[in-house]
């Protein structure tokens, strides 16, 4: 299995800059690279990465996307004086040339291809290329928007040609539309291109109709271009997450890419003068971690934009930390997408519905005139006070914030969110099980638990089950694991038990030793005591085949599946549509996943779920498994190994319709569940 995170940085890419007064381009400065690299050093991330060297791309490689004439024209700029450079630059939109531009553009592309080579040949698992010039605006025969050669588009063609890669996902999270990349692949079904971008109904640069949600690709590539236009500024963590849950992730899982290229622009982060968005740096750790279960972990990040040096460097560090396997810090801010974001999401889903089974069952209505819709929303648009009043970061998103104030905000914000990861990743307790993976984990001794100790955890009528001897034995393994996790001596744990009923008591125990909120996800059958169903500190999602709708409320959510279906697809669908939004809203400080023996769900699908649940509580999760044959796979997921794709993703219509109904009931209370205006 490939391991390690590659990092590419080379000072030579700082050797060009703007030589005349040209406000459109003044923000694209060499310090963007050095500031990013310095911050990586400061956080000790550079030495944790595998440093890769840079090379110049060849003309043949450039020609994978660009025309001969354009290549020659760019070459000629190396010998121009300032006047000539100026008039050459003005033939294009928002780009400047310098005598070193050609050399740097070749290094920038070469760095990108080095990263792709290292990932595709399994020398590393994933990586980040710090490059300039950026690439995603550049076209076959045009420079544009600070971009000269389209690094990511060429990388995709290169991977297809050199490695026979059949499905490539490009995630363009830069705040501008990568129209150059879109144009390259608009008729190509082997490349799924996703871009979100500031759009403001075409008022924002590059002001193209083709950046709207209605541009979905052409010919056999129809359905393989996904545009998410943001029609308001101020989009934040909840909006970005909602876009991933509602659109990108379901489509990406269905597409099943062999490689993911990320056009990683950080002008979509808070404080950026171009984007004017509000996502905080740790949001990029979450977005990264959400992509890591895909493509067998083969992720290549390539820098695009990002013009607030502080925000750029912090966000980039968060991304690299995630690539290295560190759990993401919890996200701040109110977990509610704004109305404008939800309108965009609904329109994109409606456009793509004919092409993707994961989108097939949704509201297919397009909202043409957004101003006439005013439904169901507490927040109509971001008003910069949507961060909770109790948050010390209140008002952080003021667009007029001075640089000094912004740095003060960032200093305190980063100090608040960064915690030291436990030195040990995974612990286990219980009887010996044959599992090679468990040998890589810390064994924790079980302890004796008395009935009295347990009976104070659950009230009244539910104590009867405590007579059960095996329950006490199970808890004797579970409690020490939760102790270790909560003391941060380990990050996560796994245990095999005969009955899942211990899981509800485990959740309560987590609360008593200090977690403010727990997420308990049960897949299989378990007795959930009434007082735990009613406990607002414990969000219980209970996925089963038998109906247990007693005591349903916003904190006890049964998802009852129809008998005799295989449910791998349904489980993933439920994960994106419901479980992840619920969990982000609840903000658990401990996650407990309990899985039964005969759930009809493949181990691999459960492993994906296990990996995704590590997005919460800084990865503090306890897996309670009824079946010992799941242990190897689930432990591997807890250890952060890469996962193969889930085999078949069949959706059962009945289950999907049931989920949609459930969403309708829950969205009033759990706002992140809402992804249509209805
Ligand atoms: N009045 C990247 O982020 N702005 N490029 C032009 C015209 C150009 C951004 C404004 C922004 C280019 C890679
Ligand atoms: Zn950009």
269 with 120, same domain? Answer: yes
**Environment class of 563 (CB within 10 Å of its CB; exposed 0-12, middle 13-18, buried 19+):** exposed
CB 454 within 8 A of CB 504: no
The answer to whether residue 657 sits within a structural domain is no
The answer to whether residue 513 sits within a structural domain is yes
469 with 547, same domain? Answer: yes
The answer to whether residue 398 sits within a structural domain is no
The answer to whether residue 660 sits within a structural domain is no
CB 659 within 8 A of CB 578: yes
Residue nearest atom 7 in ligand 1 by C-alpha distance:
24
CB 307 within 8 A of CB 273: yes
Ligand number nearest to the C-alpha of 145: 1
**pLDDT over 90, % of the chain:** 81
According to DSSP, the residues that pair with 171 across neighbouring strands are 194, 262
- 388 pLDDT band, cuts 50/70/90, is very low
Ligand 1 atom nearest to CA at 176: 3
| Cis geometry, peptide bond prior to residue 133 (ω within 30 degrees of 0) | yes
CB 417 within 8 A of CB 618: no
pLDDT tens digits, one per residue of 155-185: 999 999 999 999 999 999 999 999 999 999 9
- Two tokens at 442? 């810390």
pLDDT tens digits, one per residue of 409-454: 999 999 999 878 899 999 999 988 888 999 999 999 999 998 888 8
The DSSP letter of residue 514 is T
Residue 643 and residue 636: Cα distance in Å, rounded? 9
Residue nearest atom 5 in ligand 1 by C-alpha distance:
145
In this prediction, residues 47-58 reach a mean pLDDT of 98
pLDDT tens digits, one per residue of 279-300: 999 999 999 999 999 999 999 9
The answer to whether residue 599 sits within a structural domain is yes
Report pLDDT for 507: 97
278 CA from centroid of ligand 2 (Å) = 15
| CB within 8 Å of 115: residues ≥ 6 apart | 6, 8, 52, 127, 128, 129, 155, 300, 302
161 with 64, same domain? Answer: yes
Most confident of 21-30, 357-366, 563-572: 21-30
Report pLDDT for 385: 39
Q: Which residues line the pocket of ligand 1, CB cutoff 6 A?
A: 24, 94, 134, 137, 145-147, 174, 176, 205, 265, 267, 274, 304-305
pTM: 0.95
Q: Return the best residue to mutate from 305, 306, 308, 316 for the ligand 1 pocket (most ligand atoms within 8 A of CB).
A: 305
- Two tokens at 280? 């905080």
Q: Return the best residue to mutate from 139, 145, 273 for the ligand 1 pocket (most ligand atoms within 8 A of CB).
A: 145
User: How would you classify residue 189: left for phi > 0, otherwise alpha for psi between -120 and 50, otherwise beta?
Assistant: alpha
124 with 246, same domain? Answer: yes
Backbone angles phi, psi at 470, to 5 degrees: -70, -25
The answer to whether residue 666 sits within a structural domain is no
Q: Which domain holds residue 305?
A: 7-26+35-367+412-417
586 with 480, same domain? Answer: yes
Residue 472 and residue 135: Cα distance in Å, rounded? 60
554 with 643, same domain? Answer: yes
The answer to whether residue 109 sits within a structural domain is yes
**Environment class of 368 (CB within 10 Å of its CB; exposed 0-12, middle 13-18, buried 19+):** exposed
458 with 362, same domain? Answer: no
341 with 429, same domain? Answer: no
The answer to whether residue 161 sits within a structural domain is yes
Count of domains for the chain: 2
329 with 454, same domain? Answer: no
493 CA from centroid of ligand 2 (Å) = 41
According to DSSP, the residues that pair with 540 across neighbouring strands are 520, 556
Cα–Cα nearest to 174, from 65, 279, 64: 279
Ligand 1 atom nearest to CA at 306: 3
Is 125 in a helix, a strand, or coil? coil
361 with 446, same domain? Answer: no
- 71 pLDDT band, cuts 50/70/90, is very high
Task: From 417, 446, 481, give the residue that closes a domain.
Answer: 417
Ligand number nearest to the C-alpha of 268: 2
Report pLDDT for 462: 59
Report pLDDT for 375: 43
89 with 232, same domain? Answer: yes
Reported as type and span, the H/E element at residue 283 is helix 281-291
- 346 pLDDT band, cuts 50/70/90, is very high
In this prediction, residues 498-513 reach a mean pLDDT of 94
Ligand number nearest to the C-alpha of 146: 1
Report pLDDT for 393: 32
Report pLDDT for 392: 32
Residue 211 and residue 84: Cα distance in Å, rounded? 32
What are the distances in angstroms from CA 460 to CA 464, 509, 533, 536, 548? 9, 17, 14, 18, 20
223 with 94, same domain? Answer: yes
Residue 333 and residue 164: Cα distance in Å, rounded? 43
Report pLDDT for 467: 67
CATH number where 565 lies: 3.40.800.20
CB 239 within 8 A of CB 338: yes
């Amino acid at each position: 299995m490939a391991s390690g995170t590659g990092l590419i940085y080379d000072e030579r890419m700082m050797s060009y800059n703007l030589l005349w007064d040209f406000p459109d381009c003044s923000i694209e400065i060499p310090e963007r690279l050095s500031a990013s690299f310095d911050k990586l050093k400061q956080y000790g991330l550079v030495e944790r990465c595998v440093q890769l060297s840079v090379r110049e791309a060849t003309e043949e490689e450039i020609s994978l996307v660009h025309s001969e004439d354009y290549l020659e024209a760019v070459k000629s700029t190396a010998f121009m004086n300032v006047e000539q450079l100026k008039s050459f630059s003005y033939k294009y939109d928002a780009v400047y040339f310098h005598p070193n531009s050609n050399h740097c553009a070749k290094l920038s592309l070469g760095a990108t291809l080095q990263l792709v080579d290292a990932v595709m040949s399994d020398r590393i698992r994933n990586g980040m290329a710090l490059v300039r010039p950026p690439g995603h605006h550049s076209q076959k025969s045009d420079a544009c928007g600070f971009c000269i050669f389209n690094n990511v588009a060429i990388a995709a063609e290169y991977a297809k040609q050199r490695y026979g890669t059949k499905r490539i996902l490009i995630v363009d999270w830069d705040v501008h539309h990568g129209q150059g990349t879109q144009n390259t692949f608009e008729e190509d079904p082997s490349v799924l291109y996703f871009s979100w971008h500031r759009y403001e109904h075409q008022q924002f640069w590059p002001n193209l109709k083709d950046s709207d949600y209605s541009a979905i690709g052409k010919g056999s590539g129809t359905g393989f271009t996904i545009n998410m236009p943001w029609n308001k500024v101020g989009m934040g963590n909840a909006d970005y997450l909602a876009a991933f849950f509602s659109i990108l992730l379901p489509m990406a899982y269905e597409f099943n890419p062999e490689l993911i290229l990320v056009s990683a622009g950080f002008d979509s982060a808070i404080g950026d003068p171009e984007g004017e968005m509000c996502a905080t740096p740790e949001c990029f750790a979450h977005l990264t971690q959400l992509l890591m279960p895909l493509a067998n972990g083969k992720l290549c990040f390539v820098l695009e934009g990002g013009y607030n040096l502080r925000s750029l460097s912090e966000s980039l560090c968060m991304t690299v930390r995630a690539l290295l396997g560190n759990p993401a810090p919890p996200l701040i801010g109110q977990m509610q997408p704004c109305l404008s974001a939800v309108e965009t999401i609904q329109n994109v889903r409606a456009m793509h519905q004919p092409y993707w089974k994961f989108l097939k069952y949704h509201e297919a209505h397009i909202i043409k005139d957004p101003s006439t819709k005013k439904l169901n929303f507490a927040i109509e648009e971001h008003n910069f006070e949507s961060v909770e009043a109790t948050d010390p970061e209140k008002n952080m998103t003021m667009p007029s914030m001075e640089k000094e104030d912004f740095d003060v905000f960032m200093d305190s914000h980063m100090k608040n969110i960064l915690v030291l990861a436990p030195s040990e990743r995974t612990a286990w307790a219980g009887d010996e099980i044959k599992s090679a993976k468990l040998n890589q984990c810390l064994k924790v001794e079980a302890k004796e638990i008395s009935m009295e100790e347990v009976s104070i955890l659950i009230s009244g009528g539910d104590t009867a089950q405590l007579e059960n001897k095996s329950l006490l034995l199970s808890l004797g393994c579970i409690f020490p694991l939760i102790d270790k996790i909560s003391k941060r001596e380990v990050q996560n744990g796994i245990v095999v038990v005969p009955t899942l009923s211990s899981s509800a008591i485990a959740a309560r125990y987590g609360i008593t030793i200090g977690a403010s909120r727990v997420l308990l996800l049960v897949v299989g059958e378990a007795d959930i005591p009434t007082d735990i169903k009613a406990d607002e500190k414990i969000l219980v999602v209970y996925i089963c085949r038998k109906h247990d709708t007693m005591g349903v409320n916003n904190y006890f959510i049964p998802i009852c599946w129809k008998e005799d279906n295989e449910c791998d697809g349904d489980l993933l669908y439920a994960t994106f549509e419901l479980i992840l939004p619920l969990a982000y809203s609840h903000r658990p400080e401990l996650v407990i996943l309990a899985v039964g023996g005969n759930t009809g769900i493949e181990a691999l699908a459960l492993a994906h779920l296990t990996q995704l649940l590590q997005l919460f509580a800084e990865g503090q999760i306890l897996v309670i498994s009824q079946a010992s044959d799941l242990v190897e796979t689930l432990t591997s997921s807890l250890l952060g190994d890469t996962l193969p794709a889930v085999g078949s993703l069949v959706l059962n219509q009945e289950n999907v319709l049931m989920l949609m109904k459930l969403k309708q009931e829950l969205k009033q209370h759990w706002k992140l569940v809402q992804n249509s205006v209805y």
